[in-house]
Amino acid sequence: MTVLGVVNQKGGVGKTTTAVNVAAGLALRGDRVLLIDADPQGNATTGIGQDKAKVDGTLYDVFSDLVDSAEPSADALLSVIKRTKVDGLDLVPATLDLAGAEPVLLNAVGKEMILKDALEPIKGKYDWIIIDAPPSLGLLTINILAACDEIIVPLQSEFYALEGLSHLMKTIEIVRRRINPKLKIRKVLLTMVDHRNRLSHQVETDVREYFGEQVATAYIPRNVRLGEAPGFGEPAVTLYPDSKGAQAYLEFVDELKELCAAR
């Protein structure tokens, strides 16, 4: 079982699109997957077909329940897990109330480890737990990094792709040193790639020079279907399976599974 975070403090890089389509793609390949929406915007929740106005339990409730708990309880997370339209894919939803989680966590004992504790009792139920992180490096993201085995870093293929990454890398190193020694970057995934322009080629060259073999072989092209799918509450890999964007995400899923099998 692998806990995989999708992390980048920069917004607009395709992070939620990646989390939703990777989670759905792994489920299509026959794996049992839990997608955790850890972004107060709740875009992964709506993108997978859940109506935030009707959700009766969210990740915020899990944090609230566990902050004062002496030991992890399977009920805390199990009580908010929802089934999705995709066979094999479950969801822990988020709504705007998750923005209030950081004040709740701030004075908690072991505040960086609350999410990790929440996951422990349910790990045997899934092959993968995919966590969509917020576009920030606050306490929520620290909880995600503490709970993860590995992370994916989506990088938009644009001029400022590498800007701000030094802060993320420093945060990852601090978490690895102090909290979670096994944390590693599994893959850097280039998104919104358009090989018709010279800039995309240059960004890809720069990213591959910087990260080397950590950059995924697969890349995600600019594709209108990826932008349309969330409006229908369904991942592109199931709604538009023949689109270039969906096919690219399925290639990336296969790459992840091959890496996992090789370990």
Domain ranges of the chain: 2-262
Averages of pLDDT over each 10 residues, the chain, 263 residues: 92 92 98 97 95 90 80 77 96 94 84 91 92 91 95 86 80 93 94 83 83 93 94 96 97 91 67
**The whole model's pTM is what?**
0.94
Helix ranges (DSSP H) in the chain: 15-28, 43-47, 59-67, 74-78, 101-106, 114-119, 139-147, 165-178, 198-211, 224-228, 236-239, 244-262
Q: Beta strand 89-92 with 82-83: parallel, antiparallel or unpaired?
A: antiparallel
* φ and ψ of 2, to 5 deg: -120, 130
Given this model, what pLDDT does residue 243 score? 97
Say what the pLDDT of residue 263 is: 65
Predicted local distance difference test score (pLDDT) of residue 104: 84
Say which CATH class 2-262 falls into. alpha beta
Name the amino acid, one letter, at 129: I
Separation of alpha carbons 263 and 259, rounded Å:
7
Pairing of strands 150-156, 33-37: unpaired
3-state secondary structure of 82: strand
Contact status, residue 162 vs residue 126, Cβ threshold 8 Å:
no
Instruction: Write down the pLDDT at residue 105.
Output: 86
The pLDDT value given to residue 262: 64
